[in-house]
Amino acid sequence: MSTVFVAMVATSHFDFLAIGASRPEAIGALLDAWLEHARFEQQERSALLVFDNAADPDEISSLLPRRGRTNVLVTTNLRVFEALGTQIEVGVFAPAEAVEFLITRTGRRDPHGAAQVAEALGFLPLALAQAAWVIRSQQLTYAAYLARLDALSIEDLLRQVPGDRYPRGTGQAIVLSLAEVERHDDTGLTTPVCDLLAMSSSTGMRRNLLQELVGRGGSAGDVDVDRTVGALVTSSLASFSLDGEVVLVHRLVQRVLRDRARREGRFISALETMITGLTDRTIDDKRQIRRVGDSSDLIDHINTIWDLATEDKTILAAFEQTGALRRLIQLRIWSAIRIAGFGDLTRAIGLGRAAVSVAGRVFGWDSQGTMTARQWMSSVYQAGGDVRATVEALELLVADLSRTFGPDHVDTLAVRNGLGYWLEVAGDLDRATEVFQQNLAVCERDLPEDHYLSLITPLNLANVHRSADRFDVALRLIEQNLAQYRRIRGDDHPETLNAQGELARSYRSVDRYDEAIALHEHNLDRVRTIMGRDHPNVLWWQRHLANAYADAGRIQDAIDLLKRTVEEYVAMYGEQSLEPVEAQLALARVYLTAAQPRNALGNIEEALTVLTRRAGGNDNPQTLKARALLAAAYAATGRRRRAKSLYRQAMADYERTFGRDHLYTNKIRDRLAPRVTTRSMTAR
C-alpha cells in the first residue's frame, strides 16, 4: 500500500487527514484515533476512507473500520481484492476523453493526431500524461511524437508479469519522458536518482533518505537532488506524498526503470548503494531509527531489495564477492527483529529463516557467516518476547559452534554469554551461573584482560548472583569489575558507564538507597552526555533511577520520571512494542505504593495487551509478573474476589513455568499473599 487518505465529510465543512506509508498497525492506530475523535454516530457525519494503489488485501482488511458511517474505496490493479466488496472496473480513457486530455495538456488542437497517439498508448492515463509532457516540452507535433515512439525498440523493456495488461506503448512513453528529463538535466543526477527510486519500496522513499543515498561518495547536494526529483514530478514520472516528504513512483514506472538499469549494467551497483545506505541507517547509526515510522519505511525498502537480489543467483554471487551479501542478510534479519517488535512474530520468523537459509546455501551451513546469521536470528525471538525459543535457538547454536570451531573459540564464548543471559531471564539461575563461570575460566586462561569478553563476563556473572539474591557476592564482583573497566576503558567509555549503572543497581539491592541514587544520577548524566540524549540506554537508566527513588520513598519523583520514561519509550518504539512494558510495570508498582491502584491498573492492562500478543507471551516472565501485579492492583481497589482468582492463576503459572520452590515463585507468593488474602491494602 502506498498511501492512505481519510476524509471526514459533513454538510457544512470538510476535514481531511492524510497518512503517509507506514506499517499497518501504525496506520490502524491513527485511524482509530481519528474515528474516535470525530464521533460519527453522535455528529451524524460520514467518512470516506481511501486506500490508494493497494497491494495487499490482508493488510487492507485489517484496517477496515468496524464502526461508524464509513465508506471505503480501494484503488488497485490487482483482482485479489474482489472479496472485500463490490468490484467496479475502471478502464482506460474513452477515445474522446483521451483526445481531449492530450489537446488540453499539450495545447495542440489536432484531434486526428491526438487520436493516433492515444490509440498507440492504449488510452492509458499514465502513458498519456507522459506523452503530453514530452510533446509540450519539445514542442513536437503528434506525428513527430509517434515517429519517435515507433523508433524506440523496447521489446525486452518490460518483464511480463501474470495478468499484466499494460500496452507496449506505455513503456515507450515512459522511456521518452525519461529521455526528455535527462536532456535538460544539468546536475547529472537523473540516472542515479531514478536507479535508487527503482530499487525502493513501492510505498515510496523519504526525501531525506534519497538525498543521503545520492550524496554517498559524491558532491551532490540536497538542493540538486530536489531539483532532479522536481523534474521527474513535472514529467509525471514521480509524485510527492501530500506532506511533500515522500517521493512516489508508479509500479509500472519502477519496472521500466529497473529493467533499464539491468540493460545498462547499473542494477547491482544501485542495489549495493541501497544496502550500504540502509546499513548505515539501521545498524551503524541507531540514532537514525528512533521514530517508528522511519523504521517502517526502512523495513519496506529492505524487503524490496531482498526480493530483487534473491531472484537472481548471479546477483547473490556478485554480492558474496563484495561482502554485500553479509550486509543484506543482516538487514533482512534486522527488519525481522523490528517486525517482531511490532508484534508479528510469525511473519518475522519467516523472514529471518529465509535469510539464514540463503546464508547456509551460499556460505555453507558450518561457515562463520551462517553461524553469525543464526545468532542474529535469535534476536528475532528476543524481540518477539519468546524467551523459550530464544534459549532453544542459542543452545543449538552453541552446540554447533562448539562442534565446528571448538568450545573455547571466541565466537562460541560470545554466544554462550548470550545464552547465559537468557537462561537468567528464563529463571534457570543455576545453569546461567554455570555458563558464566565456565566462560570466565576460559577468558582468564586464554584472552587478554582488555578483551570485551574478559570484561563483560564477570559482570554477567555478578548479575546472576544478584538475581539469585546472593547480593554480597554480586556487589563484590561488580565493584571489582568496575575498577577493571575504569582502568582499561576509562571513566567515560560506554562499557564503563554500563558497569557503573549495575553497581548502582546492586547498592539498591542491599538497601543502600542514597548511594544508589547518587551513582544513578551521576551515571545517567554521563550517559546522556557521552551517548546522546536520544540513545536507548538513557531510558534504561532512567527507569532504574526511578526505581531507586521509589525505594527511598521519593514517590512523586519516581512517578514523574517513570511517566516521562514511558512516554519517551512509546515515542521511540511505538505503543505496541515491548520496550515500554517494563517501565509501565515499574510505574504501576509505584502507583500501588502511592495508594493509586486505579492508575496502576491502566498501566498493567496496557502492558498485558502488548505481552499477550507475542508468541510465548503467556509464559514470558514479564507476562507472569504483570499478571501477579494485576492481582495486587485488584486487591487494592477492593475487588477481592477477582484478585483472589488472579492470584491463584498467577501462582499456578509461576509453579508451571519455574517450579513450586523456585526463588521467583517464592518471591511472588510472599509479596502477593498478604495483599490478596488479608484486608491490608499497602503495597510494600
Tally Cβ neighbours within 10 Å of residue 497.
Answer: 23
Count helices and strands in the chain by DSSP H and E runs? 32, 7
Architecture label for domain 262-495: Alpha Horseshoe (1.25)
Looking at residue 152, its pLDDT comes to 63
Which residues, in sequence order, are bridge partners of residue 71? 48
Give the separation between CA 230 and CA 207, rounded to whole angstroms: 11
What is the value of pTM for the model shown?
Answer: 0.77
Q: Which is it for the CA torsion 570, 573, 577, 582, positive or negative?
A: negative
Give Cβ neighbours of residue 142 (< 8 Å, ≥ 6 apart).
102, 108, 110, 113, 114, 116, 117, 135
Q: Which residue bears the cell 517488535? A: 341
Looking at residue 411, its pLDDT comes to 95
pLDDT in tens, 374-396: 999 999 998 888 888 999 999 99
Q: With pLDDT > 70 as the criterion, what percentage of the chain qualifies?
A: 84
Which residues, in sequence order, are bridge partners of residue 166? none
Q: Closest Cα to residue 373, out of 384, 386, 382, 363?
A: 363
Is 534's pLDDT higher than 90? no
Residue range 197-209: average pLDDT? 91
**Worst-scoring range by mean pLDDT, 58-62, 131-135, 354-358, 563-567?**
58-62
Q: Which three cell numbers stand for residue 233?
A: 514530478
Give the separation between CA 507 and CA 495, rounded to whole angstroms: 19
pLDDT in tens, 265-316: 999 999 999 999 999 888 754 443 444 445 778 899 999 999 999 988 899 9
What is the rounded average pLDDT for all residues in the chain? 84
Looking at residue 42, its pLDDT comes to 45
Q: Which is it for the CA torsion 369, 370, 371, 373, positive or negative?
A: positive
Residue range 71-82: average pLDDT? 72
Of the pLDDT bands very low, low, confident and very high (cuts 50, 70, 90), residue 352 is: very high
pLDDT in tens, 159-188: 444 444 455 567 778 888 888 888 888 888
Residue range 544-563: average pLDDT? 96
Asked if 600 and 586 touch (Cβ cutoff 8 Å), the reply is: no
Do 262-495 and 567-612+620-677 fold alike per CATH?
yes
Of the pLDDT bands very low, low, confident and very high (cuts 50, 70, 90), residue 8 is: very low
Which residues, in sequence order, are bridge partners of residue 5? 18, 50
| SS3 label, residue 399 | helix
Asked if 492 and 530 touch (Cβ cutoff 8 Å), the reply is: yes
Give the separation between CA 360 and CA 369, rounded to whole angstroms: 8
pLDDT in tens, 630-659: 999 999 988 888 888 988 888 998 888 888
pLDDT in tens, 25-65: 555 555 565 555 554 444 545 667 777 767 677 777 777 77
CATH 1.25.40.10 fits 567-612+620-677, yes or no: yes
Looking at residue 85, its pLDDT comes to 76
Q: Are strands 70-74 and 3-9 parallel, antiparallel or unpaired?
A: unpaired
Looking at residue 568, its pLDDT comes to 92
Greater confidence, 668 or 541? 541
Asked if 131 and 116 touch (Cβ cutoff 8 Å), the reply is: no
Give the separation between CA 246 and CA 300, rounded to whole angstroms: 13
Give the separation between CA 305 and CA 516, rounded to whole angstroms: 48
Of the pLDDT bands very low, low, confident and very high (cuts 50, 70, 90), residue 476 is: very high
Is 335's pLDDT higher than 50? yes
Looking at residue 297, its pLDDT comes to 83
Is 586's pLDDT higher than 60? yes
Is 414's pLDDT higher than 50? yes
Buried b (16+ CB within 10 A) or exposed e, 606-619: bbbebbebbbbbeb
Looking at residue 2, its pLDDT comes to 36
Residue range 150-158: average pLDDT? 54
Domain boundaries, the chain: 3-84, 95-184, 262-495, 567-612+620-677
Is 156's pLDDT higher than 50? no
Residue range 543-550: average pLDDT? 96
**Worst-scoring range by mean pLDDT, 37-46, 148-157, 247-256?**
37-46
The DSSP H or E segment spanning 47 is strand 46-52
Residue range 470-485: average pLDDT? 96
Which residues, in sequence order, are bridge partners of residue 47? 8, 70
